[in-house]
Amino acid sequence: MNITKTKLEGVLVFEPIVLSDNRGWFMESYSKKVLSEYGFLIDFEQYNHSYSKKAGTLRGLHFQKLPKAQTKLVRCTKGEILDITVDIRIGSPTYKQWVGIKLSEKNKKQVFIPKGFAHGFITLVDNTEVQYKVDEAYYGRYDRSIRFDDSEFNISWGRDNPILSEKDKNAPSLSDCGANFTYEQR
């Protein structure tokens, strides 16, 4: 597995080595050993799977605040997405900065997102499926959203009028979302 660091400390892109033959292909999609070599000891507790019918469906920006924050390992298993991760750790050298990575069923890349980051994605084609592992269960009490178009971030989603849930349409700005991460906590 090839691992690439991003400009956001701890956010990694995994690109598997795909072994193909006349039957199809095989790849290692997760390795606890490899993550531990990067200093992460993760036990994933919950696996999530989303389906979006239409291109331009935007899900995010989401996170769970402390003490129930989640580390995520995200992959697109059907279709293609632009996956966005935003640093919301107060005091971080990259606070309010973001990275966008195209994930698809073809490139098989994954994004590893530690606690302290908001996450979202927009579908680039119809009938897209995204699967991700998290190391903490869902707790509605700690679940938070930030406006996808918050001017604090200036994210280039590539689409002016995305398809949004009511939750995401009404999400607050960063300053009002209740994020409680600091850089020292990592």
Question: Active-site residues: which are they?
Answer: 62, 132
Contact 104, 76 (CB under 8 A): yes
Residue whose C-alpha is closest to residue 117's, from 167, 168, 62: 62
Contacts of 113 (CB under 8 A, 6+ apart): 11, 71, 72, 73, 74, 85, 119
| Neighbour tally for 75: CB within 10 Å | 23
Contacts of 181 (CB under 8 A, 6+ apart): 65, 66, 69, 88, 89, 90, 115, 116
